[in-house]
Amino acid sequence: MSGQAVPVDLSGHMLDLEEDEDLEVFSKHHSSAADGGSMPNSPSSMVNQYRLEDEEDELVDTMKDLLVTVDQPESHVTAIETFIVYRVVTKTTRSEFDSSEYEVRRRYQDFLWLRGRLEDSYPTLIVNPLPEKFVMKGMVDRFNDDFIETRRKALDRFLNKVSAHPVLSHSQHLHVFLTAQDLLSHRKQGPGFLSRVGETVRAVAHSVRGLKGRPEEFTLMHDYVEEFSSKISSVDKITQRIAKEQREYVDELKRCGPTYSLWAALEEDLAEPLRGVAGCVERCCVETEEHIQYLSEVLVPAVHEYVLSADTVKAVMRRRDTIHADYEVKNEALALRKDEPQALEEEVGRLAERLELANSALKGDWCRWQEGMRGDLRSAFVSATEKNIQYYEKSQPSQWIKMPWHILGRTPFFMPSLQFHSSTLHKVQLV
């Protein structure tokens, strides 16, 4: 009933943050090059390779029979609340749709309703996470233009993930979401509060009792997700910390830059090199702000999405375990009951069939989730590598800033600042 074991090594593609292993690989590459072996691919050639693969993915996207786009966010203000409404445009060639194109307006709560209904209907399928509803402390206001655009991209990504899924894309709830002009009547339907409470209580009871016969393949999946969740959370924190430090760096540059312009106006002999430093700081501000924008709009959301996605997978596995625990309880009860077991046998049979379907659905979606996760994170990190290369190339000086030796006596704060950011600011040559 549990099926065959997963034939792949679940730990083979885990994110690895061990610096020693990274250094070991780096040293091996350099030693092989020194020994006359083949040189490793350059960063630019690797980026080009992955870009070609992304173009192939885009070509596949154009062949889809269900294309969904989220755009044109609008702010709505009522006497009770303020919220954002997004346009959802659907183009399709599927026969179950009455028209080939639809246009509706949806707010964030509508997306929440859709995701909830999909999870209720397909408890052991992995439904892509939505962006978080509330803004964390220290983040931008939720009606800020940058935040709205970041959320729009996340909602667009959510719908495209669902519309590309072989099962979820045929859900009646998705059909209603994409086509119904008035969604309020549909949102009132569905499992009630008491039903949800009952499912939660049953899940807690099964977790206390424990699962006796979980198949090994699902234990491996569970261990993989736990380790992945820990490591992607660390990457998420590091990425957000880098973005925060970059913002602090720009603030420092903006305070520092005008000082050299004022200084240049006071000392004619030093005017030219000081103006060069002021221009250098200004250019670095511009390039760093562009780099921060990329981090905030692309890399940080891509990494954080898989922090949420790991939690989603954990929840799916808990639901599978609940179904399995239901089957075990009824099966044990059947073994103990000696009189009139027919009704219980029928219920055990239904639970066995449900468990088999749940296992099959999760195994299929597990492979799909892993493939998507590796592709998404690879694309995000390769793109970040390319942007970092461009950022540091633009930060290199077109010509050296020449600074006389005697200026050091009058600039106690200047040289440490530039040396600390030597990889970003223009270099200074002492002559």
* Domain residue spans of the chain: 211-404
Please report, rounded to a whole number, the percentage of residues in the chain having pLDDT higher than 90.
35
**H, E, C per residue of 351-410:** HHHHHHHHHHHHHHHHHHHHHHHHHHHHHHHHHHHHHHHHHHHHCCCCCCEEECHHHHHH
Query: Alpha-carbon distance 363 to 373, whole Å?
Result: 15
Query: Which pTM does this prediction carry?
Result: 0.73
14 compared with 304, residue with greater pLDDT: 304
Please report, rounded to a whole number, the percentage of residues in the chain having pLDDT higher than 70.
67
Query: Alpha-carbon distance 239 to 250, whole Å?
Result: 17
* Of 131, 59, 85, residue with least CA distance to 302: 131
pLDDT tens-digit readout, 138-155: 444 566 787 888 889 999
Q: For residues 268-296, give the mean pLDDT.
A: 85
pLDDT at 354 over 70: yes
The sign of the torsion formed by the CA atoms of 191, 192, 196, 198 equals negative
Q: For residues 371-376, give the mean pLDDT.
A: 92
Domain boundaries 211-404, corresponding CATH code:
1.20.1270.60
Assign 308 a pLDDT band (cuts: 50, 70, 90).
very high
pLDDT tens-digit readout, 161-214: 999 999 999 999 999 999 998 888 777 665 554 455 555 555 555 554 566 778
Whether residue 379 contacts residue 54, with contact meaning beta carbons closer than 8 Å, is answered with: yes
Q: What is the pLDDT of residue 199?
A: 56
Q: What is the pLDDT of residue 196?
A: 53
Instruction: Please give the mean pLDDT across all residues of the chain.
Output: 75
Q: Which helix (H) or strand (E) holds 2?
A: none
Per-position DSSP letters for 18-53, written without gaps between them: -HHHHHHHHHHHHHHHHTT-PPPPPHHHHHHHHHHH
pLDDT tens-digit readout, 215-246: 899 999 999 999 999 999 999 999 999 989 98
Environment class of 86 (CB within 10 Å of its CB; exposed 0-12, middle 13-18, buried 19+): buried
pLDDT tens-digit readout, 31-44: 444 444 444 444 44
Query: Alpha-carbon distance 89 to 125, whole Å?
Result: 25
Q: For residues 248-271, give the mean pLDDT.
A: 86
